[in-house]
């Protein structure tokens, strides 16, 4: 038996909003459409998940990293960066060296590959999954339920893409301010077969596992409020052209039933 809890996500756009999709094969005047699934305009799960993951990482760093003494108040809350020694970029390496992040929680975490201070699954990967290990939260696609895609003909191409103006109007699609996207997020609460239970340390081989849950600081209710509802509601930007004033959003999360 698996027990799930559902959270209703409602995203309202506060400015024009745009996540770019693929130009359809059929003849169209739109050069750069918004993302669709079939004929539905959506926010794809990977976009929302990326923004949620970034929000969680920042929350742990801002709340539990002592910037004066450059130390974690609780070392097992240090999030990971999705890279290892071989794939890390110079900018990411700086963040690791400053102590904000550890290398990615790829699972399994064999003793020979990880120092013991890094052989744990970080709280972000506990919730959203790591390479080789699923998490408790399935971030959904959101469907557009109010508003529609409109051509952004009022913005000149040079302001969008930085290319020559020549009076050409952009054939970009966007979603106007005040539009609404909605979806249902499933969170695993309990699985009788694997023995997983939200807020409890899992029985994982080849890893020190969910070390952050060994203290009594965290439980299911605190995770639901502080790490699920409040963190999703703290996401303020999503999509493209944020530096041009796009992508300001408001998210409300409600527990269904
Ligand atoms: Zn991680």
Beta-strand ranges (E) seen in 91-202 are 137-138, 142-146, 150-151, 173-174, 180-191
Kindly report, residue by residue over 95-146, the tens digit of the pLDDT. 999 999 999 999 999 999 899 999 999 999 999 999 999 999 999 999 999 9
State what percent of residues in the chain have pLDDT above 70. Answer: 90
Q: Which residue has the higher pLDDT, 160 or 213?
A: 213
What's the CA-to-centroid distance between 252 and ligand 1, angstroms?
A: 26
- Whether the pLDDT of residue 2 is over 50: the answer is yes
What's the CA-to-centroid distance between 175 and ligand 1, angstroms?
A: 33
What's the CA-to-centroid distance between 155 and ligand 1, angstroms?
A: 40
- What are the residue ranges of helices labelled H in the chain? 45-64, 90-97, 123-128, 157-161, 220-222, 230-233
What's the CA-to-centroid distance between 10 and ligand 1, angstroms?
A: 27
Q: Name the residues around ion ligand 1, CB cutoff 5 A.
A: 80, 105, 122, 125
The per-residue pLDDT for 171 is: 73
What's the CA-to-centroid distance between 239 and ligand 1, angstroms?
A: 23
The per-residue pLDDT for 164 is: 45
Q: Which residue has the higher pLDDT, 28 or 38?
A: 38
What's the CA-to-centroid distance between 68 and ligand 1, angstroms?
A: 24
Which phi and psi (to 5°) does residue 225 adopt?
Answer: -75, -55
- Whether the pLDDT of residue 24 is over 90: the answer is no
The per-residue pLDDT for 165 is: 43
CA 164 to CA 174: how far, in whole Å? Answer: 21
The per-residue pLDDT for 20 is: 87
Give whole-number Cα distances, 255 to 38, 110, 201, 218, in Å. Answer: 28, 38, 24, 19
Kindly report, residue by residue over 63-105, the tens digit of the pLDDT. 999 999 999 999 999 999 988 888 999 999 999 999 999 999 9
What's the CA-to-centroid distance between 223 and ligand 1, angstroms?
A: 16
In terms of residues, how long is the chain? 257
CB 141 within 8 A of CB 159: no
CA 158 to chain centre: 30
What's the CA-to-centroid distance between 13 and ligand 1, angstroms?
A: 30
What's the CA-to-centroid distance between 249 and ligand 1, angstroms?
A: 26
- Whether the pLDDT of residue 257 is over 80: the answer is no
Partners of 144 in the β-ladder: 181
The per-residue pLDDT for 159 is: 53
What's the CA-to-centroid distance between 211 and ligand 1, angstroms?
A: 12
What's the CA-to-centroid distance between 123 and ligand 1, angstroms?
A: 7
Q: What confidence category does residue 151 fall into, taking pLDDT thresholds of 50, 70 and 90?
A: confident
Kindly report, residue by residue over 154-194, the tens digit of the pLDDT. 455 455 555 544 334 457 889 999 999 999 999 999 999 99
- Whether the pLDDT of residue 6 is over 80: the answer is yes
Which phi and psi (to 5°) does residue 222 adopt?
Answer: -65, -40
Residues 206-223 have a mean pLDDT of 96
Residues 215-230 have a mean pLDDT of 96
DSSP state of 175: B
Tokens, residue 109: 């975490």
What's the CA-to-centroid distance between 196 and ligand 1, angstroms?
A: 18
Tokens, residue 165: 């103006």
């Amino acid at each position: 038996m698996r027990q799930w809890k559902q959270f209703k996500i409602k995203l309202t756009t506060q400015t024009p909003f745009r996540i770019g999709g693929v130009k359809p094969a059929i003849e169209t005047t739109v050069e750069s459409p918004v993302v669709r699934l079939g004929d539905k305009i959506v926010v794809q799960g990977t976009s929302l998940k990326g923004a949620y993951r970034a929000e969680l990482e920042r929350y742990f760093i801002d709340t539990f990293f002592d910037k004066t003494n450059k130390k974690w108040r609780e070392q097992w809350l240090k999030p990971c960066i999705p890279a290892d020694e071989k794939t890390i970029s110079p900018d990411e390496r700086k963040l690791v060296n400053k102590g904000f992040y550890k290398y990615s929680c790829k699972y399994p975490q064999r003793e020979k590959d990880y120092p013991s201070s890094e052989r744990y699954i970080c709280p972000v990967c506990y919730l959203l999954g790591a390479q080789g290990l699923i998490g408790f939260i399935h971030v959904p696609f959101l469907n557009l339920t109010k508003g529609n895609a409109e051509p952004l003909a009022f913005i000149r191409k040079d302001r969008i893409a930085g290319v020559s103006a020549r009076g050409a109007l952009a054939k970009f699609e966007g979603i106007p301010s005040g539009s609404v996207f909605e979806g249902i997020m499933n969170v695993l609460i309990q699985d009788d077969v694997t023995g997983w239970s939200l807020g409890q340390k899992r029985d994982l081989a080849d890893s020190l596992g969910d070390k952050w849950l060994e203290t009594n600081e965290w439980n299911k209710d605190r995770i639901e409020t502080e790490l699920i509802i409040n963190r999703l509601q703290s996401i303020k930007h999503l999509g493209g052209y944020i530096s041009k004033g796009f992508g300001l959003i408001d998210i409300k999360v409600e527990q269904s039933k």
